[in-house]
Chains A and B, each alone.
Chain A
Amino acid sequence: MKLKTKLYAAIFSTLCMGLHANTIISNEKLTLNKGSFKLECMSCHRTVEKNFKKRKLIGEHEKLTVNHGKMWCFSCHDETDRNKLKLIDGSLVDSKDAVQVCAQCHGVVKRDWDAGVHGKRTGNWNGEKNILACIKCHDPHQPPFQPMKPFSPPRNRFGPIKKAVHNNAHH
C-alpha cells in the first residue's frame, strides 16, 4: 500500500507539477490551485492511504515544512474530508473559519485578537476595519514570523548629501 501511495505521488508530481509550475494551496478554501485548474483535496486523497505518522512529505506537499509543536496533519485537518478542518469536538469548519481551530489552544491570543490588540487591522480607527485572521499573517504549519530582510537604513547625515537621489526611492 505504501508503494501505491508513492506511485500516485510520483505520477501526480511528474505529470501535473511538470505542466503547471505554480502550485498554490489556497487559504480561503482548501483547494490546490494549479494555474487555472482548481483541485479539491479529496480528488487525490480519496485514493491515497491515510497515514498518521510524522514523516517527510512528498508530492504536492513536498515543500511544506511542518513545525508547529507536536502537531501533525490530522491535528487540524479532517482525515475523511480533507477540504475541511476539524475541531476537537469533531465538528468540521471551513478554512475561512480557521480562527476557531487556532483558538482551541491559543485562547489568550484569541482574547487579545477579539479586542483588536493582537494582530493587524487596517482601515479606520473609529469605523470600518479590515481585520486580518490568524492565517493571513501566520503560516499555520510554521506559525512564528519568519526572519525577513529589513529595509535600507537611513542615510548618514554627516557630509554632503548626494544628489543621486532615487536609488532608494523605487522600492
Chain B
Amino acid sequence: MCEDKENKVDKAFESVTRRDFIKGVSGALASTAALGAAMTPALDMGKDLSWDEFYQQHYQELTVEQKEKIFKRIEQKVKTDYGVDNANVQDPLPQLGVEFAYALNLSKCIGCRGCEKACSKENNSDRASGMSNIRVLELDKGSINLEKSSQSYNPETVPQEGKYYMPIQCHQCQNAPCVKVCPVQATWQEKDGIVVVDYNWCIGCRYCEAACPYYARRFNFTTPEIPAEEINPDMGYLSNRPRPKGVVEKCTFCLHRTRNGKYPACLEACPTGSRKFGNILDPESEINYIIKNKRVFVLKEELNTQPRFYYFFD
C-alpha cells in the first residue's frame, strides 16, 4: 500500500516536465496581469470615491443627521474639485398642498436659447459638452414631428420665417416611464410632482434616458467641468450640486429655488415671458388661469405619461 502511494507521488512529479512548469507559471502570471488591468478602473475610482460615499444609503433611507454629514462632505468635495469655498448644499423638502406645473407659450417663444443657457449656469452643468437640461427645437410651422426638428439651428437672427420654436425639458410626468425602468430606484417622484435622481445611487445604466419620450435626461460621460467663477453655490442635494461622472441628470424645475418660493431660472431668463410656473392646486395661480382659459396641449399625449408641463397658444 505504502509503496503504491510513493509510486503515485513520484509519477505525479515525473509528469510535470520543465516545459509544462514554465507554461503553467507564465499562464498564471498572465492571468494575474489581466486581472490587474481589469481592476484598474476600480482602483482609479478610489481617488474620487471615499468609503463614506461608497457605503452611503439611498436618499430616502437617510436620517437628518446622516444628510447633514453628507452635505458637509459634498461641500468639501466641491471645494477640492472646483476651488469654491462658499458652496452651500441644501435639501428643501416638498411643501404641503403644492404641486408644481409649468406652461410654455409657443406663440411667444422666439427660440433665443436664453433658457437653455440659464439652465446650464444655474444647475452647474458640464461646460465642456455644453450640457443643459433644456433643448430648444426648431420646427416648421404647421408640423409637430419632433424627429424632423433641429436642435442645432444657428441663423443670424431668430425667429426665422416659417419656423416655430419648442423648448423641451423634463415634463415631470405623473406616470413617469423613467421612474418605472430604473432598476435600482435611484429616481422617483416627490410629493410636489418633481421627479428627482439620487446621483449617489444612480448606477449609470441609462435605461431612464432611453425610456423618456421627451429626451429630458442627460448622461454625464465625463466629470463636469465648471470654471470656479461660474459655480452656482446655492446647491440642492437632489438638484444642482455638481454631478459625478457616469450618472444621469435631469430638470428638477430648479427645486432648490422653487421649493423656496422662487421662480425657476429658465423662466427668469426668458426675454419674451413665454414661460409660466406655479402651483396647480392653487385656483388663483397663473398656471391655473392658463389651463382654464387657454388652448393647452401636452406633448405625446397618446403615451399616457400625464405631464405636468403644458404648451399653450394665444
Residues of A participating in the B interface, judged by any CB pair closer than 8 Å: 112, 115-127, 132, 137, 145, 147-157, 161-163, 165-166, 168-169, 171
Contact B128 A165, beta carbon cutoff 8 Å = yes
Contact A153 B271, beta carbon cutoff 8 Å = no
A169 to B121, CA, bound (A): 9
Contact B110 A162, beta carbon cutoff 8 Å = no
A165-B225 in contact given A120-B270, A151-B113 (Cβ < 8 Å): yes
Residues of B participating in the A interface, judged by any CB pair closer than 8 Å: 110-114, 116-117, 127-132, 135, 151-159, 221-222, 225, 227, 230, 258, 261-263, 267-268, 270-273, 276-279, 282, 285-286, 289-290, 293-294, 314
A154-B261 in contact given A120-B272, A125-B277 (Cβ < 8 Å): no
Contact A154 B286, beta carbon cutoff 8 Å = no
Contact A121 B263, beta carbon cutoff 8 Å = yes
Min CB–CB distance B70 → chain A (angstroms): 29
A151-B116 in contact given A115-B289, A119-B273, A125-B263 (Cβ < 8 Å): yes
Contact A124 B263, beta carbon cutoff 8 Å = yes
Contact B273 A166, beta carbon cutoff 8 Å = no
Contact A171 B263, beta carbon cutoff 8 Å = no
Min CB–CB distance A126 → chain B (angstroms): 5
Residues of A within 8 A of B117 (CB): 151, 171
Contact B159 A147, beta carbon cutoff 8 Å = yes
A62 to B240, CA, bound (A): 49
What are 29 A-to-B residue pairs whose CB atoms are below 8 Å?
A116-B276, A116-B289, A117-B293, A119-B273, A120-B270, A121-B273, A122-B263, A122-B268, A123-B263, A124-B261, A124-B263, A125-B261, A125-B279, A126-B261, A126-B278, A145-B272, A147-B158, A151-B113, A151-B114, A151-B116, A153-B113, A153-B151, A154-B131, A154-B132, A154-B135, A154-B152, A155-B129, A156-B152, A171-B117
Main secondary structure of the interface of A (DSSP, over half): loop
Residues of A within 8 A of B156 (CB): 149
Contact B262 A161, beta carbon cutoff 8 Å = no
Min CB–CB distance A133 → chain B (angstroms): 12
Contact B262 A124, beta carbon cutoff 8 Å = yes
Contact B151 A154, beta carbon cutoff 8 Å = yes
**4 pairs of A and B residues whose beta carbons are closest in the complex:** A120-B273, A147-B157, A151-B113, A116-B286
A125 to B267, CA, bound (A): 11
Contact B276 A117, beta carbon cutoff 8 Å = yes
Residues of B within 8 A of A168 (CB): 127, 130
Residue of B153, B222, B258 touching A150 (CB-CB under 8 A): B153
Residues of B within 8 A of A127 (CB): 261
Min CB–CB distance B245 → chain A (angstroms): 12
Contact B286 A166, beta carbon cutoff 8 Å = no
Contact A169 B227, beta carbon cutoff 8 Å = yes
A149 to B110, CA, bound (A): 10
Residues of A within 8 A of B285 (CB): 125
Contact B278 A148, beta carbon cutoff 8 Å = no
Contact A150 B111, beta carbon cutoff 8 Å = yes
Contact A115 B153, beta carbon cutoff 8 Å = no
A126 to B267, CA, bound (A): 14
Contact A153 B262, beta carbon cutoff 8 Å = no
Contact B157 A149, beta carbon cutoff 8 Å = yes
Residues of A within 8 A of B263 (CB): 121-125
Residues of A within 8 A of B130 (CB): 152, 154-155, 168
A123 to B113, CA, bound (A): 21
A132-B273 in contact given A121-B263, A150-B112, A161-B222 (Cβ < 8 Å): yes
Min CB–CB distance A77 → chain B (angstroms): 26
A120-B271 in contact given A115-B286, A148-B157, A169-B227 (Cβ < 8 Å): yes
